[in-house]
Amino acid sequence: MAARILDGTTLARARRERLAAEVAEFTRRHGVAPCLAAILVGDNPASRSYVESKARACARAGIRSETFHLAADTPATDVLALVEELNARSDVHGILPQLPMPPQIDPDVVFGRLRPDKDVDGLTPANMGHLALGHPRLAPCTPLGILALIDAAGVEISGSEAVIVGRSNIVGKPTALLLLLRHATVTLCHSRTADLAAHTRRADILVAAIGRARTIRREMVKPGAVVIDVGISRIGGAIVGDVDFEAVREVAGAITPMPGGTGPMTIAMLLENTLAAARWQLEGAA
């Protein structure tokens, strides 16, 4: 039987509608709307379009947003100065340095300067540390969206075998930590993993965050598994994921489409994190 499609667009819309009501209530209570500041360095077209769609989503949810678009050759010191300025502004509650950054800018240094309570993508050492210690405050948006999609599939995470392919700081690693917190038995695979299929075939929950089109083939998937596709590749003008969707949907129990799965959920979680950051700053809760 073909897999159930985990429609991230619909799920994200429902979450954004709920969030808009919470944002309106927060704004009434504090007399100020939550505000997200995005830092975009350079002209990467994909990054530009992500930042634009995040700004549109903010506006629809009642969140104020500002975009700081810097030239590709901006020195690292100028980016760090902007981070310090935004750290100090009481009307800015979330700061999002859009990745990737040009080579002269080390993203670890940028995130190292960010105030943890404004770190809406959960990538500062402090927020990563809280997550690793099992007490997440602001956690990375894409992994939060992945967990929400798995929950939408209605599977029991506790006790399940979860296999994640990709170990980046922004997706694979934090997804592993979130699944571990929910008591999954977690395997984290990467480019040096010997016999990837031997691991993926054991997975009740399989997350592919590789960035290589259609790497996960039908024979690599356990029948009935929940398959979450994070990868984005552009082939001949079309966007495809890390999963061979048409073949894998024949064996999986539930599967996300690409596009229309993890992408919209990432944006929904960014909005939720912006409200959480504003609450942390104004109400002292995280």
Ligand X SMILES: NC(=O)c1ccc[n+]([C@@H]2O[C@H](COP(=O)([O-])OP(=O)(O)OC[C@H]3O[C@@H](n4cnc5c(N)ncnc54)[C@H](OP(=O)(O)O)[C@@H]3O)[C@@H](O)[C@H]2O)c1
Q: Does 220 bind ligand X (CB under 6 A)?
A: no
Is residue 63 a contact partner of residue 277, using CB atoms and an 8 Å limit? no
Q: Does 175 bind ligand X (CB under 6 A)?
A: no
Determine the interface stretch with ligand X among 21-29, 61-69, 83-91, 206-214 (rule: CB under 6 A): 206-214
| Identity at 57, one-letter amino acid code | A
Residue whose token pair is 């495809």: 240
Among 120, 184, 230, 254, binds ligand X (CB under 6 A): 230
Is 98 annotated as catalytic?
yes
Is 281 annotated as catalytic?
no
Cβ at position 159, least distance to ligand X in Å: 25
* Binding map of ligand X across residues 253-282, x = CB under 6 A, - = no contact: ---------xx--x----------------
Query: How many other C-beta atoms can be found within 10 angstroms of the C-beta atom of residue 160?
Result: 19
Is 121 annotated as catalytic?
yes
Cβ at position 194, least distance to ligand X in Å: 11
Q: Given the complex with ligand X, which of 256 and 281 has the nearer CB atom?
A: 256
Query: How many other C-beta atoms can be found within 10 angstroms of the C-beta atom of residue 45?
Result: 7
* Binding map of ligand X across residues 90-129, x = CB under 6 A, - = no contact: ----------------------------------------
Q: What span, in angstroms and rounded, lies between the C-alpha atoms of 96 and 120? A: 6
Q: Does 44 bind ligand X (CB under 6 A)?
A: no
The neighbouring-strand residues paired with 116 are none
Determine the interface stretch with ligand X among 14-22, 75-83, 156-164, 189-197 (rule: CB under 6 A): 189-197
Query: How many other C-beta atoms can be found within 10 angstroms of the C-beta atom of residue 278?
Result: 26
CA-based R_g, the chain, Å: 19
Residue whose token pair is 């300067």: 113
At 5, give phi and psi (nearest 5°): -90, 125
Among 177, 207, 210, 228, binds ligand X (CB under 6 A): 210
Q: Given the complex with ligand X, which of 87 and 233 has the nearer CB atom?
A: 233
Q: Which of 121, 204, 242, 244 is catalytic?
A: 121
Q: Does 163 bind ligand X (CB under 6 A)?
A: no
Instruction: Give the C-alpha distances (Å, rounded to integers) separating 7 from 4, 56, 160, 171.
Output: 9, 20, 22, 20
Among 49, 77, 104, 191, binds ligand X (CB under 6 A): 191
Cβ at position 191, least distance to ligand X in Å: 3
Q: What span, in angstroms and rounded, lies between the C-alpha atoms of 199 and 8? A: 26
Cβ at position 2, least distance to ligand X in Å: 22
Work out the burial of residue 229: count CB atoms within 10 Å of its CB; fewer than 13 is exposed, 13-18 middle, 19 or more buried. buried
Is residue 174 a contact partner of residue 207, using CB atoms and an 8 Å limit? no
| Identity at 46, one-letter amino acid code | A
Residues designated as active site: 54, 98, 121
Chain contacts with ligand X (rule: CB under 6 A): 142, 165-168, 170-172, 189-193, 196, 209-212, 215, 230-232, 262-263, 266
